[in-house]
């Protein structure tokens, strides 16, 4: 509202009020004398209306940020999609790398089995050729490897020992004067392999003082020639007291290699020998020597000595008793 119009309006209203209440005009037709006030009132109202209508209209422009937010969201979405794409690519690459590593591991395991190199290490301690005496083997000292190779892992059977003219066969040496097992020999083929599951063992070889330890049973009745190769089970001439680790995985590793080769063809033969090694008059074997040679090729070929030890246990080889190691 304009201030001049407001002043005129107030003055006009006051004038009319005084005129109405003035004693000179009271009771008379006072309105006939108030026409100037009416004119001023109309003028003031007109001025006030003009000022009001002439006031500039301020238009507020609402600036919307929708397009800005949308653009920002689109940018973030693009970055997120890019990050997700990179993450997916990285995961695919990691999965491919893992698959390649697993494939390489499996190939290495198969190669180790083929080479007969599982848990073996070359040794120069045995100097008595390809077939050292029991005394030489019994004097070997266990360090960290339970299985060591003999004669660079070459079995070195003679040509006569590799003949197949009589077909597959197996022989087991007689027990010695202390009832200990002696050497077992065989020319193995698929024809000797058992067709049924083996029954429970009940033979007690010399040195059999079995007991429970932290990892399970200390001893196994270990077959010189594994049951899966010949089907010989409760044969007292084919069983020796062996620690759990000597029996499995050490001996089993080589037995499986031979079994896999024989199963591949009925024409396959493997010359095989297992020799238990005792020291002096001890009743518990110090270890076993295993030799094998496939006929006509080197698909199976090894010459190893396996120590009869059990990690965490001290064995008394004199009678087979044991104590927990310090």
Q: What is the mean pLDDT of the chain?
A: 81
Residue 63 counted as domain residue: no
Do 185 and 291 have their domain in common? Answer: yes
Q: CB-hemisphere CA count at 13 Å for 102?
A: 6
Q: What residues make up the domain containing 16?
A: 3-51
Give the end of a domain, one of 36, 51, 66. 51
Q: CB-hemisphere CA count at 13 Å for 261?
A: 28
Q: Is 253 helix (H, G, I), strand (E, B) or coil?
A: helix
pLDDT tens per residue, range 157-190:
999 999 999 999 999 999 999 999 999 999 999 9
How far apart are alpha carbons 112 and 108 in whole angstroms? 6
Residue 116 counted as domain residue: yes
Q: Is 51 helix (H, G, I), strand (E, B) or coil?
A: helix
Specify the pLDDT at position 247: 98
Do 301 and 216 have their domain in common? Answer: yes
Residue 98 counted as domain residue: no
Mean pLDDT in residue range 74-92: 58
Mean pLDDT in residue range 218-236: 97
Do 21 and 163 have their domain in common? Answer: no
Residue 199 counted as domain residue: yes
* Residue 267 pLDDT level (bands cut at 50, 70, 90): very high
Do 120 and 31 have their domain in common? Answer: no
Do 165 and 40 have their domain in common? Answer: no
Alpha-helical runs (H) found in the chain: 3-21, 35-54, 66-115, 134-138, 227-230, 244-245, 252-264
pLDDT tens per residue, range 15-40:
666 666 655 555 555 555 556 666 76
Specify the pLDDT at position 66: 43
Considering only CA atoms, which of 325, 284, 256 is closest in space to residue 112?
Answer: 256
Residue 60 counted as domain residue: no
Do 120 and 269 have their domain in common? Answer: yes
Q: 41 with 9: CB under 8 angstroms?
A: yes
Sorted by sequence, the CB contacts under 8 Å of residue 284 that are 6+ apart come out as: 206, 207, 241, 278, 308, 315, 316, 317, 318, 319, 320
Q: What is the rounded (10 degree) CA torsion for 68, 70, 75, 80?
A: 150
Total of domains in the chain? 2
Do 280 and 135 have their domain in common? Answer: yes
Residue 235 counted as domain residue: yes
Do 26 and 135 have their domain in common? Answer: no
How far apart are alpha carbons 6 and 132 in whole angstroms? 133
Residue 81 counted as domain residue: no
Do 129 and 41 have their domain in common? Answer: no
Residue 102 counted as domain residue: no
Sorted by sequence, the CB contacts under 8 Å of residue 230 that are 6+ apart come out as: 170, 186, 188, 192, 193, 194
CATH number of residue 159's parent domain: 3.40.570.10
Do 169 and 308 have their domain in common? Answer: yes
Do 138 and 43 have their domain in common? Answer: no
Do 150 and 263 have their domain in common? Answer: yes
């Amino acid at each position: 509202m304009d201030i001049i119009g407001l002043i005129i309006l107030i003055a006009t209203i006051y004038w009319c009020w005084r005129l109405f209440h003035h004693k000179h005009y009271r009771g008379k037709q006072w309105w006939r004398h108030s026409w100037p006030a009416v004119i001023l009132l109309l003028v003031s109202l007109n001025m006030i209306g003009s000022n009001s209508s002439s006031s500039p209209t301020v238009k507020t422009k609402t600036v919307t940020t929708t397009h800005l937010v949308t653009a920002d969201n689109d940018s973030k979405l693009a970055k997120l999609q890019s990050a997700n794409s990179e993450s997916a690519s990285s995961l695919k690459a990691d999965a491919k790398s893992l698959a390649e590593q697993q494939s390489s591991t499996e190939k290495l395991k198969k190669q180790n089995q083929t080479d007969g190199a599982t848990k073996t290490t070359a040794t120069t301690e045995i100097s008595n050729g390809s077939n050292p005496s029991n005394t030489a083997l019994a004097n070997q000292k266990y360090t960290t490897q339970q299985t060591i190779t003999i004669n660079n892992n070459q079995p070195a059977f003679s040509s006569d020992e590799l003949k197949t003219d009589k077909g597959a066969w197996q022989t087991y040496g007689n027990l010695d004067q202390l009832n200990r097992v002696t050497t077992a020999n065989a020319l193995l083929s698929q024809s000797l392999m058992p067709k049924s599951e083996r029954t429970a063992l009940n033979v007690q070889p010399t040195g059999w003082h079995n007991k429970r330890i932290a990892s399970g049973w200390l001893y196994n009745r270990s077959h010189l020639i594994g049951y899966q190769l010949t089907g010989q089970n409760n044969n007292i001439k084919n069983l020796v007291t062996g620690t759990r680790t000597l029996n499995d995985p050490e001996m089993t590793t080589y037995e499986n290699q031979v079994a896999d080769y024989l199963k591949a063809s009925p024409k396959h033969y493997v010359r095989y020998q297992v020799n238990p090694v005792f020291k002096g008059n001890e009743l518990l074997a110090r270890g076993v020597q295993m030799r094998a040679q496939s006929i006509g090729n080197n698909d199976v070929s090894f010459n190893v000595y396996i120590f009869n030890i059990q990690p965490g246990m001290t064995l008394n080889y004199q009678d087979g008793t044991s104590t927990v190691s310090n």
